[in-house]
Each structure stands twice: as structure tokens, then as C-alpha cells.
Chain A
Amino acid sequence: MILIQMILIALLAVVIFTFIGYIPGTDETSVLMPITLALVLTNIAPILILTFFIAAIVTLNLTNMMPAALVSLPGGVLSSPTIEHTLKVKQEHQSPKLIRKIAAAAFLGVVITIPLSFLISQLILPFANTIKPYASYLFLFGAIFLALNSKNKGLSLVSIIPLGLLFQAFRALYWHFDIVSLDANITTSFFLAITVGPLVHSLIHLFDPLQRQALTRTGRKYFKVPKDDQKTSLNPFKILSKEELKNASLATVISNFLFVLSPVGLIILLGESLGKKTTKQSQPYLTVSIMSALAQSTYLSGIIIPLFALGIPLSPTAIGPGSALFNAPPIYTLENNLHFQLTSGQFVSAVVVGALIALAITYFIISRYASKITSFILKKVPHEAVLGLFVGFVVLLSYMEAGVVNVFGVFIISYISGSLNKLGVNVGVQFMTLYAAPFLLGWLM
């Protein structure tokens, strides 16, 4: 009975996130987090929540690559590093070939990551209780580590403490005026504030006539969508070349051990370096294949390892899109979440069922219909509606957490965070800082 429910909820995730994945610019975190949170709050069986989430990330990370491959618009954050390479393929009119490689590499990423990340969890498990008291330190070290890997290292490092203060300042304000109870630790809406930061930053700068002039474009944006290929084989081992198989697998394995690092960071780092290991002509295919495998492996390992071994969100994926699995009061708290409620067997079955259903359906759909779906979405769904939906989500969750005041609080936080982001302080650093903030302030005083 529970298996049927698991299959149904995985199918639900596939349907929702196939659609969302094709819409350009739908950021992973801001769509995964609210929907998962809503599901968690319904208080359905924990195993169903995990199945849903795993199916959702596998589907989303694969379909996100489609608008990138076909029209060079990233479907989400993780597919943005592929753009310069997909552009080259598109100029040679080889997009259908690339799409099959993306799907095959995603398959490889999922199939390697699931057993490997459970294995790594087993290795960490004996040390779990030793690690946990140091979680706050780990968040801080995580922030510092990501800062050292970001575009603007100096500013990223310098901004950690002020940003931490900013988050704590708003929390303290809400406590002081009894807007929220003293045990409420506002996280969800601050989190979304970081996510929409770049958007809010751009919007505010439109008020400056000079900046608006700079962003003004005449006429519509033109897209040429390559056609689907209906005939070729769907066997992933035939679709990928030997080089692609080897390097995508290697990247997947490495990324599993680096699960605490930012997915998009790993995608750029490993994708760009391993992607060069071939002839100039094959480079775009190799790079994008590696990146597609990594999109799967970083998200899956980032959620499986912290959730299975520790129960604390100790990776960007767990802190971000998967945060509702760890901390969603009143259903889940850091002392009582999926980690404590699921047996190992349930854990493994939820991951396997969710991932395989999502993979099987998405793999088939994108190999055959990627182009049709992309052109449909581009023709029907205006960019304005996507941005509207984001803002709707953020306003709603801000209001739910701490009323009208928090809507303005989130607004100013997102502006600051967006400005820092534009200057090269990546969102990973900011997410880690959000989690380290209470500790950071206690330590400073």
C-alpha cells in the first residue's frame, strides 16, 4: 500500500517539476522549498515526503537543462554554467544529439550517486555524534570555505559577520516587539530573501533612469528552437562516448565526497576542468555531459548524506532547497526530522523509488519531446508571469512567518544580499552565514 502511495507521489513530483523545469529562470530553491514545505506541513508519512523530494530534484535538474540546450536560456541556477557550451553546439545545429547526452549523463550521475552516497553516509555515521555539537562551527567554516571559492574572495570573507548581524538584527527586532514568539527562529523567509536577492536588486535599479536606459531593449527576443530527433537509440551507454562516460563518472564520484560544497560551484570547477580533456570539437559535449551528471550527483549526495548520516543540514542543498526536510516547525525540528523518523530500509527505498521513477519518465520525455515542450513554454508562458509567481511566493512566506513587518524586512535583506551577489559574494556563502548567524553573534559578544 505504501509502495503505491510512493509511486503516486513520485509521479506527482515528476508532473509538477517537468513543467517548472522547462520554464526559464525558475530557480531551484525558490520552487522546491515552498512546495516541499507545504507537503511537510500536511503531516503525511515521512517516507512519502522523501520520495517526493528525490523525484522532484531528479526531474528538475534534468528538465532544467532543456531550455539551456535548446535556446540558451538556463532553466535554473545549475544549468547556467552550460550556456556558453550549449551555444557552440546550437550553432552547429547539433542540439538533439546534445540533449540525448545530457539525459544519458544524468542517468549515469543518479545511478552512481545513490549507492555511493549511502556508502559515504555509512562511513560518517560512527562520527555523527562527535560532529553534531560542532555544527555551528561547520556552518561558519562552510561559509569561509565557500567565500574562498567565490568570485570575490575578499568581499565574501568580509561580508560574513555583517550579514550574520543583519539576520540576527531582524530576528531580535521581531522578538523584541512580540511579532514572533521567542523560540521562533525565522529562517525560511530570510532564505528566500537571499534567493530572490538578484531579482530585487535589478528591480530597484530600474528606478534609476540611467540604469533603466541601459537595460532597455527594442523589440522581442528571438529564439530558434532545434527540432526533436525521434529515431535514435535510448541506451545511455551507446549515447555517451568513452571519454564522456569516463569523465562524467569520475566527476560524479569526486562530487559525492565534496557534498558540503555548493553544487553550482562544483559544476563549474569540475565541468570546466575535466571538460577540456578532449579534442576542441568534442569539448562542448564532454563539458555539458559532465555538468549534467554533476547536477544530479551534487543535489542527491547533498541531501542524502546529511539527512541519512547526521540529521542536520550540512550542505548547500540541505540548507537550501531541502531545508523543509530538516526544519519545518511544528512538524520537523533539528531534533526530530526525517533523519530520526525513517529506518535505513525506508530511507533507501524512498530514494530508489523516487529517483528511478523520475529518471525513467523524464529520460524518455526529454529524449523525444524536449523541443516541442520548450517551444510551447516559450510561446505561452511570459517571463513576467514567472517573476510574478516568485514574488507571490516570497511575499506569502514572509507574511506567514512574521506578518507585514517581515515583508519589508525580507525586501531590504534581499536587496542587500542581491547587491553582495552582484559583487561576487555567492548565495552559498550567504546561506551558510544565515545558519551560522546565532552562533556568530554569541561568539562576538
Chain B
Amino acid sequence: MNKKDFIEIWGDHVDLKSMLLSMFICATIALGGYFIAFNWGSTWQLFLGIFGAVIGFVLSVIFIQPKREVEVE
């Protein structure tokens, strides 16, 4: 295990760059979803927006490694 430096935020360790990247991705895709539905009314805007944020979340889950070491007893 490498001894890299992380930042503790909200009770867990994160890598600052990955976190900012994840926030950027989630926000951008969420707004992207919103604009795809721009003329479809507020329900679709919200739906595709939330869907976009969730896609951003899934991408972050795939590409960012958790900074945790987990052992099952």
C-alpha cells in the first residue's frame, strides 16, 4: 500500500483532485441532461438532470478508487 496523502472531509479520506473532478463531472452531466430536455417542460428537465447527476456518480464510481482499506472479520 502506498502512503499517499489524502484530505479528510465529512469523516472519510478523499483525494482532492478526484473529488473536484467528480463534482465537476456530476454537475456538468446534470446540466447537460437539463439542456437536452430544455423544451420538454420542467418534469423532464428535472428527470434528465437527476439522471445526468447519477451518470456522473456512476462514472466516478468506475474511475475513482475508494481511499479505504476494508477487511471483513
- Name A's B-contacting residues (CB within 8 A): 24-25, 34-35, 37-38, 41-43, 73-74, 93, 198-199, 202-203, 206, 212, 215-227, 330, 371, 375, 378-389, 391-393, 395-396, 399-400
Contact: B15 with A384, CB < 8 Å? yes
Is A384 in contact with B11, judged by CB distance below 8 angstroms? no
Main secondary structure of the interface of A (DSSP, over half): helix
| Alpha-carbon gap, A246 to B73, bound state (A) | 33
**Most chain B beta-carbon contacts within 10 A, residue among A37, A74, A395, A396:** A396
Return chain B residues, CB-CB under 8 Å to A375: 70, 72
B24-62 contacts to A (CB < 8 Å): 24-27, 29-31, 34, 42-43, 45-47, 49-50, 52-54, 56-57, 60-61
Minimal Cβ-Cβ distance residue in B for A395: B27
CB <8 Å contact, A393 and B50: yes
B residues lining the A interface (CB < 8 Å) = 1, 3-16, 18-19, 21-27, 29-31, 34, 42-43, 45-47, 49-50, 52-54, 56-57, 60-61, 64-73
Partner of B68, one of A38, A223, A371, A395: A223
Residues of A within 8 A of B43 (CB): 38, 41-43
Residues of B within 8 A of A391 (CB): 23, 26-27
Q: Which residues of A are found within 8 Å of B9, using beta-carbon distances?
A: 199, 202-203, 206, 215, 383, 387
Given contacts A217-B5, A223-B69, A399-B34, contact A387 B49 (CB under 8 A): no
B38 nearest CB across to chain A (Å): 11
Q: How far is the CB of A62 from chain B (nearest CB, A)?
A: 20
Given A216-B7, A225-B72: A400 in contact with B45 (beta carbons within 8 A): yes
Q: Is the CB of A388 within 8 A of B68?
A: no
From A202, A227, A375, A385, residue with most partner B Cβ within 10 Å: A385
| Contact among B1, B7, B30 with A393 in the assembled complex (CB-CB below 8 Å) | B30
Known contacts A41-B42, A385-B61, A387-B22; is-contact A392 B13 (Cβ 8 Å): no
User: Cβ of B12: which chain A residues have Cβ within 8 Å of it?
Assistant: 24-25, 73, 221, 383
**CB-defined contacts of A217 to chain B, threshold 8 Å:** 5-8, 13
- Shortest A23–chain B CB gap in Å is 10
Query: A48 to nearest B CB, angstroms?
Result: 15
Give bound CA distance, A399 to B60, whole Å.
22
Q: Is the CB of B73 within 8 A of A383?
A: no
Shortest B15–chain A CB gap in Å is 7
Q: How far is the CA of A358 from the CA of B64 in the complex (A)?
A: 32
Known: A221-B13, A383-B10. A389 touches B54 (CB 8 A): yes
Nearest B residue to A34 via CB reads B50
Q: A220-B13, A222-B69, A223-B68 are in contact. List 9 more A-B contacts (CB 8 A).
A: A34-B46, A41-B42, A221-B67, A382-B65, A383-B9, A384-B64, A392-B56, A400-B42, A400-B45
Q: Name the residue of chain A whose CB is nearest to the CB of B67.
A: A220
Cβ of B53: which chain A residues have Cβ within 8 Å of it? 389, 392-393, 396
Instruction: For B56, give its contact among A35, A212, A220, A389 (CB under 8 Å).
Output: A389
Cα(A202)–Cα(B7), bound, Å: 11
